[in-house]
Chain A
Amino acid sequence: MTVAGSVSHIEEPVDRPAIPAADATEEKPLLSASGVSKFYGSRIGCEDVSIDIWPGEVLAVVGESGSGKTTLLNCISTRLMPTTGTVTYRMRDGQTRDLYRMGEAERRFLMRTDWGFVHQNPADGLRMTVSAGANVGERLMATGARHYGDIRATAGDWLGRVEIAEDRIDDQPRAFSGGMRQRLQIARNLVTGPRLVFMDEPTGGLDVSVQARLLDLLRGLVTDLGLAVVVVTHDLAVARLLSHRMVVMKDGRVIETGLTDRVLDDPRAPYTQLLVSSILQA
Chain B
Amino acid sequence: MTMQPTDLATYNFAYLDEQTKRMIRRAILKAIAIPGYQVPFASREMPMPYGWGTGGVQVTASIIGPDDTLKVIDQGADDTTNAVSIRAFFAKVAEVSTTTSTADATIIQTRHRIPEEKLGEGQILVYQVPIPEPLRFLEPRETETRKMHALEDYGLMHVKLYEDIARNGHIATTYAYPVKIEGRYVMDPSPTPKFDNPKMDQSEALQLFGAGREKRIYAVPPYTSVVSLDFEDYPFEVNRFDQPCALCGAEGVYLDEVVLDDRGGRMFVCSDTDHCEKRRAAGHKGTMAGGEIGQ
B262 contacts partner chain A, Cβ-Cβ < 8 Å: no
- Digitize A105-133: 1 where CB-to-B-CB distance is under 8 Å, 0 elsewhere: 10010001000000000000001011101
**B141 interface hit (Cβ, 8 Å):** no
Q: Is A104 in contact with B233, judged by CB distance below 8 angstroms? A: no
Asked if A137 is at the interface (CB within 8 A of a chain B CB), the reply is: yes
Shortest CB distance A128–B (Å):
11
B292: chain A residues within 8 A (beta carbon): none
Q: Which residue of B lies closest to A169 (CB)?
A: B166
B23 within 8 Å of A (CB atoms): no
CB distance from B143 to the nearest CB of A (A): 13
Given contacts A147-B231, A147-B232, A148-B231, contact A141 B162 (CB under 8 A): yes
A170 sits at the interface (CB 8 A): yes
Q: In residues 186-242 of chain B, which contact A (Cβ within 8 Å)?
A: 230-234
From A104, A127, A143, give the contact of B159 (CB < 8 A): A127
**Bound CA span A26–B159, Å:** 37
Whether A143 pairs with B155 at a CB distance below 8 angstroms is yes
Q: How distant is B62 from chain A, measured CB to nearest CB, in Å?
A: 34
A139-B159 Cα distance, complex, nearest whole Å: 9
Contacting residue for B138 out of A130, A137, A149, CB 8 A: A130
B246 contacts A by Cβ under 8 Å: no
Contact in complex: A139, B162 (CB < 8 Å): no
Does B117 interact with chain A (Cβ within 8 Å)? no
In terms of DSSP, what is the predominant structure of the interface of chain A?
Answer: helix
Please pick, from A105, A112, A139, the residue contacting B152 in the complex, using a CB distance under 8 A: A105
Is B166 touching A141 in the complex (CB atoms < 8 A)?
Answer: no
Residues of chain B contacted by A129 (CB below 8 angstroms): 138
Among A105, A112, A142, A152, chain B packs the most CB atoms within 10 A around the CB of: A142
Q: Report the contact-size class of chain B (Cβ under 8 Å from the partner).
A: 20 to 34
B159 with A147: CB separation less than 8 A: no
Interface hits, B136-159 → A, CB 8 Å: 138, 147, 151-156, 158-159
Give Cα A133–Cα B163 distance, bound, in whole angstroms: 9
Give the distance to chain B from A129, nearest Cβ to Cβ, in Å: 8
A127 touches B138 (CB 8 A): yes
For A142, the closest partner residue in chain B by CB is B155
B263 at the interface (CB under 8 A from A): no
With A146-B232, A147-B231, A147-B232 as contacts: A133 and B166 at CB distance below 8 Å = yes
The answer to the question of B165 belonging to the interface, with a C-beta cut-off of 8 Å to chain A, is yes
Nearest-neighbour CB distance to chain B for A118, whole angstroms, equals: 19
Given contacts A127-B138, A133-B166, contact A104 B151 (CB under 8 A): yes
List 21 A-B residue pairs with CB atoms under 8 Å apart, sorted by A's residue number: A104-B151, A105-B152, A108-B151, A127-B159, A130-B159, A130-B163, A134-B163, A137-B159, A139-B155, A141-B158, A141-B162, A146-B232, A147-B232, A148-B162, A148-B231, A148-B232, A148-B233, A148-B234, A149-B233, A152-B162, A170-B166
Closest to A141 in B: B158
Q: Is there an interface contact between B153 and A138, defined as CB atoms closer than 8 Å?
A: no
A interface footprint on B36-75 (CB within 8 Å = 1, 0 otherwise): 0000000000000000000000000000000000000000
Indicate if the CB atoms of B151 and A105 lie closer than 8 Å.
Answer: yes
Are A134 and B162 interface neighbours, CB within 8 A? yes
Q: A151 interface residue, CB < 8 Å from B?
A: yes
B162 and A137: CB pair below 8 A? yes
Given A141-B159, A143-B155, CB of A134 within 8 Å of CB of B231: no
Contact B166 A142, beta carbon cutoff 8 Å: no
Q: Is the CB–CB distance between B138 and A141 below 8 Å?
A: no
Contact pattern, B 231-258, Cβ under 8 Å of A = 1, otherwise 0:
1111000000000000000000000000
- Report B-chain residues with C-beta under 8 Å of the C-beta of A127: 138, 159
Smallest CB-CB separation from A132: which chain B residue?
B166
In the complex, what residues of A have CB within 8 A of residue B138's CB? 127, 129-130
Kindly state the separation between the CA atoms of A237 and B260 in the bound complex, as whole angstroms: 73
Q: Which of A147-180 contact B (CB under 8 A)?
A: 147-149, 151-152, 169-170
Q: How far is the CA of A253 from the CA of B31 in the complex (A)?
A: 51
Q: CA A127 – CA B165 in complex, angstroms?
A: 17
Which 3 A-B pairs have CB atoms at the shortest separation, nearest pair first? Answer: A142-B155, A141-B158, A148-B231
Q: How far is it, in angstroms, between the C-alpha of A147 and the C-alpha of B158 when the chains are bound?
A: 10
Shortest beta-carbon distance from A140 to chain B in Å: 8
Query: Are A138 and B155 within 8 A (Cβ)?
Result: yes
Nearest chain A residue, comparing its CB with the CB of B161: A148
Complex Cα distance, B158 from A131, in Å, reads 13
CA distance A83 to B150 in the complex (A): 26
In the complex, what residue of chain B is closest to A170 when comparing beta carbons?
B166
